[in-house]
Amino acid sequence: MEPTPEDMSLTSALMTLQRWMHGTRSVIARELGLTVQQIELLCVLHNHKPSFGELAGLLGCDKTNVTGMVDRLTRLGLVTREADPRDRRISRPSLTDEGGAVGERVREAFVRAVAERWSGVSPRDRARLARLIDTDRV
């Protein structure tokens, strides 16, 4: 399957987008005194109680990594471990009230940044963009 010119320009757009997202997330994290990975974890835990293994999959990192991340966020009072009543091996990280509030601020800030970056694009095109991005996911 040969890459077409459209694939090339799409790739280049994605690289630019990648840098923009990284920068945006860094700023948001820094304002809250957290790391990018930590705010990502808080967002993933929104309305969601995965096990450590599932959480690792969602974050795209090793499960041995998640242990330490949850430890540090627990120390900050943002996350707790909840036991699974059906399987005593499993414990499910979940947000504390404060962790939920911080996650909410993160999502708000990100939506605001997105709205601002695409403010020159019509709502119709923004919806189209969202559909095109997620196309093969559906």
d(CA 135, CA 129): 10
Please choose which of a copy of itself, DNA, none residue 51 contacts, taking the beta carbon within 5 to 8 angstroms, the exact cut-off set by kind.
Answer: DNA
Binding mask 63-102 for DNA (x = CB under 7 A): xxxxxxxxxx--------x-----xxxxxx----------
Q: How far apart are CA 19 and CA 25, in angstroms?
A: 10
Q: x/- contact string, 75-114, with a copy of itself (CB under 8 A)?
A: --------------------------------x--xxx-x
Position 137 contacts DNA (CB under 7 A):
no
- Footprint of a copy of itself (CB under 8 A): 1, 3-4, 6-19, 21-23, 26, 43, 58, 60, 107, 110-112, 114-121, 123, 125-137
